[in-house]
């Protein structure tokens, strides 16, 4: 197989796996806020639904186990990916038979949250193995495109599990919509069944790192303590702003079909295009210029949302085309920023600890971004939507300063820099 054909096959495999992640995650991040608000669940409860993302934030705790324990017959990554796919499918079937009218009056919210928590737990564990597979299989010069495909595949899953699900619930019914998701998840599992992964990389004999030292040794490398600050701050403002977009649209009078078909789908498609373009530009411009430039655009994308509730509160008509355009813009620049950041995350992961290193970095992103999600409802109720989005955008812009300072100290992230990890198939310590 020629190198380009090999690259295409690897990218297609990763695309299918990240779509699988996006399917159940789309239910939680895209569909759930609109569903809950439709059944008159308070904004504070919607904000606290951010706790359901704890598996994504804390997955680094079991990442070393996922990396270390596996079946030689099934492969290091497939040993975890396949059972997690099946478990997520089972939970989607269970959700299909849940009565959504029990959400009214908060009667069934706790049970529904348990279902969603388990879906996130299975998807997050699959993500650990998939991220390790991505780091292991992509060379340094392939990672910009690879992370564009990663974000794009994830967003395709969000389109289906979020926007399309909302539309199907409105056009068909709850049960049929979720059963269709379960079938689709099963079909997307087929490519990994045929995949034969390369032998796992191991530490030198007798030198496997102790559990906690896997994490401490990662940040002990020169410059990476500053990188920790970047991971903590980079997505905070954007995460805060995006948390209340769907509830705001419901309060402005949009129904689930409008939000699902036109807003969530158009926005997610824009993210897909933004991620692919962002990955391509990151490979050509370098990691540092892309992280800073796309971070500024990300802040502006959040700021434009403030215009919508300002017009609505003044009693002026808000054209649907304007809502869709702003939603597409915000998702487009967010996809570019995420592709650039994840490319750097992949660069800094060590080949022999790819899953653990990648996972601990994205877990930090999830912990600090998700923690602001918890207070989003309280802040929105206190400030109103217009001020809320302006504050979120300002926070996003101000918190770019760590990236501007610390990324310059990492030679791998500067234009013409060198990889921090081994190329696929090599076991070279940085």
Residue-wise pLDDT tens digits, 301-337: 999 999 999 999 888 888 988 998 998 999 899 989 9
Nearest to 387 by CA among 314, 307, 296: 307
SS3 state of residue 244: coil
Q: Is residue 367 part of a domain?
A: yes
Q: Is residue 424 part of a domain?
A: no
Q: Write the DSSP symbol of residue 255.
A: -
Check if the beta carbon of residue 48 is closer than 8 Å to that of residue 183. no
Domain ranges, residue 318: 7-194+214-413
Q: Is residue 205 part of a domain?
A: no
Q: Is residue 85 part of a domain?
A: yes
Say which residue the tokens 């060198």 belong to: 418
Distance, CA of 155 to CA of 244 (rounded, Å):
19
Query: Among the ranges 28-37, 131-140, 276-285, 286-295, which has the highest mean pLDDT value?
Result: 286-295
Q: Is residue 1 part of a domain?
A: no
Q: Is residue 421 part of a domain?
A: no
Q: Is residue 207 part of a domain?
A: no
Check if the beta carbon of residue 240 is closer than 8 Å to that of residue 379. yes
**Residue 335 belongs to domain with CATH number:** 1.20.1250.20
Distances in Å between the Cα of 230 and the Cα atoms of 47, 227, 346 are 25, 5, 15
Confidence (pTM) = 0.67
Q: Is residue 309 part of a domain?
A: yes
What is the reported pLDDT for 24?
78
Distance, CA of 5 to CA of 49 (rounded, Å):
43
SS3 state of residue 75: strand
pLDDT range class, residue 417, cuts 50, 70, 90: low
**Structure-token pair, residue 42:** 């308070």
Question: Partners of 75 in the beta sheet?
Answer: 71
| Percentage of the chain lying above the pLDDT 90 cut | 21
Q: How many domains does the chain have?
A: 1
């Amino acid at each position: 197989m020629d190198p380009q054909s090999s690259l295409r096959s690897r990218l297609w495999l990763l695309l299918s796996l990240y779509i699988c992640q996006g399917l159940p995650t789309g239910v939680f991040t895209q569909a759930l806020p609109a569903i809950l608000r439709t059944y008159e669940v308070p904004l504070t409860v919607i904000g606290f639904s951010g706790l359901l993302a704890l598996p994504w934030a804390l997955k680094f705790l079991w990442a070393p186990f996922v990396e270390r324990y596996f079946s030689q017959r099934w492969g290091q990554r497939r040993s975890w990916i396949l059972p997690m796919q099946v478990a997520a499918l089972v939970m989607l079937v269970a959700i299909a038979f849940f009565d959504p009218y029990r959400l009214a009056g908060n009667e069934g919210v706790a049970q529904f949250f348990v279902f969603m928590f388990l879906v996130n737990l299975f998807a997050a564990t699959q993500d650990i193995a998939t991220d390790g597979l991505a780091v292991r299989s992509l060379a340094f010069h392939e990672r910009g495109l690879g992370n564009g495909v990663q974000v794009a595949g994830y967003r395709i899953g969000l389109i289906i599990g979020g926007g399309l699900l909302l539309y199907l619930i409105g056009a068909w019914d709850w049960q049929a919509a979720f059963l269709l998701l379960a079938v689709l998840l099963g079909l997307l599992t087929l490519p990994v069944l045929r995949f034969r992964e390369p032998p796992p990389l191991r530490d030198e004999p007798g030198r496997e790192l102790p559990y906690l030292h896997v994490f401490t040794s990662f940040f002990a490398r020169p410059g990476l303590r500053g990188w920790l600050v970047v991971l903590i701050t980079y997505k905070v403002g954007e995460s805060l702003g995006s948390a209340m977009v769907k509830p705001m649209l419901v309060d402005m009078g949009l129904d689930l079909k409008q939000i699902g078909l036109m807003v969530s789908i158009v926005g997610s498609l824009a993210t897909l295009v933004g991620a692919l373009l962002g990955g391509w530009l990151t490979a050509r411009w370098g990691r540092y210029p892309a992280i800073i430039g796309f971070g500024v655009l990300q802040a502006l994308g959040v700021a434009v949302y403030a215009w919508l509730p300002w017009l609505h509160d003044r009693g002026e008509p808000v054209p649907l085309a304007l809502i869709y355009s702003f939603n597409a813009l915000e998702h487009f620049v967010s996809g570019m920023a995420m592709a650039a950041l994840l490319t750097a995350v992949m660069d800094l992961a060590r080949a022999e600890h790819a899953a653990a290193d990648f996972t601990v970095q994205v877990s930090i992103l999830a912990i600090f971004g998700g923690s602001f999600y918890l207070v989003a409802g309280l802040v929105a109720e206190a400030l109103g939507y217009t001020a809320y989005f302006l504050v979120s955008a300002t926070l996003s812009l101000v918190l770019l300063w760590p990236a501007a300072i610390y990324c310059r100290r990492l030679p791998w992230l500067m234009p013409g820099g060198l990889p921090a990890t081994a190329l696929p198939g090599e076991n070279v310590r940085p």
